[in-house]
Structure 1
Amino acid sequence: MGKYFGTDGFRGEANVVLTVEHAFKVGRYLGWYFGQDHKARVVIGKDTRRSSYMFEYALAAGITASGADAYLLHVTTTPSVSYVVRTEDFDCGIMISASHNPFYDNGIKVINSAGHKMEAEVEEKIEAYIDGETGELPLATKENIGRTVDYSAGRNRYIGHLISLATRSFKDMRIGLDCANGSSFAIAKSVFDALGAKTYVINNEPDGTNINTNCGSTHINVLQEFVKEKKLDVGFAYDGDADRCIAVDENGNVVDGDRIMYVCGKYLMEQGRLEGNTIVTTVMSNLGLYKACDKIGMKYEQTAVGDKYVYENMMKNGFVLGGEQSGHIIFSKHARTGDGILTSLMLMEVILEKKQTLGKLADEVKIFPQVLKNVRVKDKKTARENPAVVEAVDKAAEALGSDGRILVRESGTEPVIRVMVEAPTDEICEKYVDSVVDVIKAEGLTE
């Protein structure tokens, strides 16, 4: 991880951690870096945060000042930027979003020409330029100055792409969508309506400050109540930039990323379409998922947390399905990143083709109770490697045995150590999480 760019881009409070000057310099560097031997083209999307407009203009100013052209998708989803970059011959893409974070945060995600997150070495060069370590870049002049182009047509092509992936009509299906007052508000309903669903939408009136506020995939209880109240067949909740999806079954029960991977993985395996009969998970996936996979002979890989690492594993080994408990699901045949709306469509395919409810399909995964506590620390590496902390973690792991597990890791975006335990009961989880958290505090490692 770099100084500014974490596992999910350059993220922080707008105009406090991430400023317009940062955005301008990111644009300046990318416009110059990709434009050294041709007229570079960079496509930009943004979510519904108030600060996204500010960063969009700053990035576009930097890009055009370096002589490249900036194509503006306006409010759109992260996966749509990924799709447009790789299908329409752009040098790179930028998504302005802080994903599931509060409205006052924002972020800059840089996407390479293949539609995946930008390589670390390029991010490191951007950071060096931001810090003045590489000197000033030449400004374009006269006819070499870049231009901005309204490119909402790219977003519309992405909508058409999603619609084309459905295998059946959604006629007579009553589907709820929670758009988190974010990027999906302008896309999701159009897709489901076009496929014939009776679509019920909530939290699709963004005002710049209500993105992710008591709504979307991080506040799934809102959609749970809505599905039960309206007696819907299924519900899907997205996060601010719509690269995540959490589902709700017909009874109002949550179907998280782990269960989504199981349902889709099992279906693909039955069809002979699951390469290596393997799904790719992260170390945060629930023990219940692995036990369910073992029962049906579905294999699994584990990576570090972050859809970036899931995708790298998938590409290296040719796997077609992977993701995170949080709802970042990657279907590599169709996308290069997590895509919430695409995930909804893939789940609908299973429901319709197997003629079963989502509740029945997901019931085979018995989720183990899980307790996760975040501890703010002075230094993540020091806290993680502290001998007393390591000893406490080892003791907890030994006590849990094969009936549970403990995972302690550093956050990719905050000065936080995450302590997670899965076990047969909440009480056992709490006991062993606290046994480690108490040591972190006793060692004076907290902020």
Structure 2
Amino acid sequence: MSSIQSSLFGTDGIRGEANRYPMTAQLALRLGRAVAHHFKARRDSAPILIGRDTRQSGPMLEHAVAAGVTSMGGDVVLAGVLPTPAIALLTRSMPALASVVISASHNSYEDNGLKIFQGNARKCSDATEIELTNLIRSDVLDGQEPTGAGVGQISLMENAPRRYADLVLEKFASDLDLTGMKIAVDTANGAAYRTTPNVLESLGATIALINNQPDGCNINRKCGSTYPEIIARHVLDAGAHVGLAHDGDADRVIFADETGEVLDGDEVLAILGLDLLRRGKLANNALVATVMSNLGLDECFNSAGGRVVRSAVGDRYVFEQMLLHELNLGGEQSGHIILRDYNDSGDGLLTALQLLRVMRTSGKRLSELRQCMRKYPQLLINLAVKEKRPIESMPEVVAALQSVEKTLGQSGRVFLRYSGTEKKIRLLLEAREEGQLQPLAEEVLKPVRALIGC
């Protein structure tokens, strides 16, 4: 168990169907024990913070993790339902030794996940995840449990949503006035159903709110950032100046302009990046985007005197490149934006506040601001697979990819990769001419379906 392939952790923590391995109460308890041991949680140390989204399985896993931590002598603070970035910020501000977030992000309610933030509000390294995996799978901690007064205690964080909102308002938005602005908001029946509306209203905005009635089973159900057409239609119905849609744990955000046209994360990066560049506040005149991001972002930024650094897909890899190149802005097409001046992880609310700030200071509508970037036509297809066989081990698929790459030349790109959180393979095609996309996609997907399709 010394290689990354043996880790329980994927690109964003441990994830799976709730109450089925590995997303079981038993494993969550063992994870709590491992976290307490690794971060040296004791009665005289700072606590471990635990937060979750609105899934029905959340309390089950929350209590299992808490039991694991306290059984090893660590104290626990339960924050309840809060966005993932809120847990990250509170981890640092409390401070806590570390935190565990129980969420499966944009997945449907049947799934859940476990991800860990260190005390500095950053996600764990691969090496730490391997160590935690080994602790979870072994019996090395058996017999080390304290007794009597050494057993940890559990406490509740009072009014955690308000605490996060106050932190955001005080540190990141004290000079932002949204009076007179109408904002359509879709919270995906998820973790931001209270926090985002409360912060925006505190800044003077009028909110047209939808999908803010979580029942444990409706998180991400035909709503939120994975269904952008919903917020686009709601903007028009409400006559809003702008719309924003979170995913289930609100670490990402997708926007719609006042005409009902959707903006993805690449366009948000372009708007925020150019604003920072013009003001001399973009570190090293560069930002990080993933290999999946649109080539139009590179053209937009290069023409303005900036540059785009590419990373692998996943916010942790975006963040790694931000650290390596000492940059303060990075993100993904999915709307996962990292603003290192404020938080070391993606935060949908902070991203929204920064975009709204640009709208306010420039006096421009979002439909005008988005004109800074001309997007290449793209086609993204998610295909369910029965197994994640290495792509390079399938000669027919490799040959198809090489053929498509030759056809596109320098005028487009093709990427084929497995999802790090779901049993799917993702194909991204990008070309100057939209008519090329579907035929080229079929050329790649035909052998994929034959070999590993469900």
- Residue number among 7, 10, 29 corresponding to 1:24 in the alignment: 29
1:158 paired to 2:158: no
C-alpha distance 355-137 of structure 1, shift in aligned 2 (>3 A): farther
- Partner residue of 1:108? 114
When normalised by structure 2's length, the TM-score is: 0.94
- Partner residue of 1:250? 258
- Partner residue of 1:230? 238
Equivalences for residues 211-360 of structure 1 within 5 A: 211-360=219-368
- Deviation at 1:161? 2.1
- Partner residue of 1:14? 18
Moved more, 240-249 or 396-405: 396-405
Instruction: Measure, in 2, the Cα distance between the counterparts of 1:190 and 1:137.
Output: 47
Cα contact 1:31–1:40 (8 A) shared by 2: no
- Deviation at 1:40? 4.9
- Deviation at 1:229? 1.1
Instruction: Measure, in 2, the Cα distance between the counterparts of 1:356 and 1:306.
Output: 31
1:42 paired to 2:43: no
Instruction: Measure, in 2, the Cα distance between the counterparts of 1:343 and 1:374.
Output: 26
Unaligned runs of 5+ in 1: none
Instruction: Measure, in 2, the Cα distance between the counterparts of 1:229 and 1:36.
Output: 51
Q: Write the deviation string for residues 194-220 of structure 1: whole angstroms up to 9, x where unpaired.
A: 101111111111111110011111111
Instruction: Measure, in 2, the Cα distance between the counterparts of 1:26 and 1:221.
Output: 38
Instruction: Measure, in 1, the Cα distance between the counterparts of 2:374 and 2:110.
Output: 37
Partner SS state of residue 93, structure 1: strand
Instruction: Measure, in 1, the Cα distance between the counterparts of 2:335 and 2:393.
Output: 30
Number of positions where the alignment pairs a residue of Structure 1 with one of Structure 2 = 446
Give, as a single letter, the amino acid of the residue that structure 2 aligns with 1:337.
S
- Deviation at 1:288? 2.0
Give, as a single letter, the amino acid of the residue that structure 1 aligns with 2:190.
G
Q: Write the deviation string for residues 329-369 of structure 1: whole angstroms up to 9, x where unpaired.
A: 00000001000000000001100011101110012222222
Instruction: Measure, in 2, the Cα distance between the counterparts of 1:129 and 1:148.
Output: 23
In angstroms, what is the RMSD of aligned CA positions? 1.7
Moved more, 51-60 or 411-420: 411-420
Give, as a single letter, the amino acid of the residue that structure 1 aligns with 2:253.
C
Instruction: Measure, in 2, the Cα distance between the counterparts of 1:52 and 1:23.
Output: 11
- Deviation at 1:163? 1.5
Q: Write the deviation string for residues 371-408 of structure 1: whole angstroms up to 9, x where unpaired.
A: 22234445535334423322221221111122211111
- Deviation at 1:289? 1.7
Identity of aligned residues (%): 37
- Deviation at 1:188? 0.7
- Partner residue of 2:413? 405
C-alpha distance 441-214 of structure 1, shift in aligned 2 (>3 A): closer
- Deviation at 1:103? 0.6
Cα contact 1:383–1:445 (8 A) shared by 2: no
Instruction: Measure, in 2, the Cα distance between the counterparts of 1:71 and 1:408.
Output: 41
Equivalences for residues 162-173 of structure 1 within 5 A: 162-164=168-170, 165-166=172-173, 167-173=175-181
Runs of 4+ in structure 1 deviating by more than 6 angstroms, as ranges, are none
Instruction: Measure, in 2, the Cα distance between the counterparts of 1:98 and 1:138.
Output: 31
C-alpha distance 292-406 of structure 1, shift in aligned 2 (>3 A): same
Moved more, 311-320 or 152-161: 152-161
- Partner residue of 1:71? 77
Instruction: Measure, in 1, the Cα distance between the counterparts of 2:25 and 2:343.
Output: 30
Give, as a single letter, the amino acid of the residue that structure 1 aligns with 2:63.
Y
Q: Write the deviation string for residues 132-175 of structure 1: whole angstroms up to 9, x where unpaired.
A: 36462521210111011111355433211221322331010111
Cα contact 1:264–1:346 (8 A) shared by 2: yes
Instruction: Measure, in 2, the Cα distance between the counterparts of 1:233 and 1:40.
Output: 44
C-alpha distance 91-313 of structure 1, shift in aligned 2 (>3 A): same
Unaligned runs of 5+ in 2: none
When normalised by structure 1's length, the TM-score is: 0.96
- Deviation at 1:31? 1.6
- Partner residue of 1:58? 64
Partner SS state of residue 72, structure 1: strand
- Residue number among 364, 374, 378 corresponding to 1:366 in the alignment: 374
- Deviation at 1:286? 1.1
Instruction: Measure, in 1, the Cα distance between the counterparts of 2:65 and 2:176.
Output: 41
Cα contact 2:80–2:160 (8 A) shared by 1: no
Partner SS state of residue 118, structure 1: coil
- Deviation at 1:113? 1.1
- Partner residue of 1:80? 86
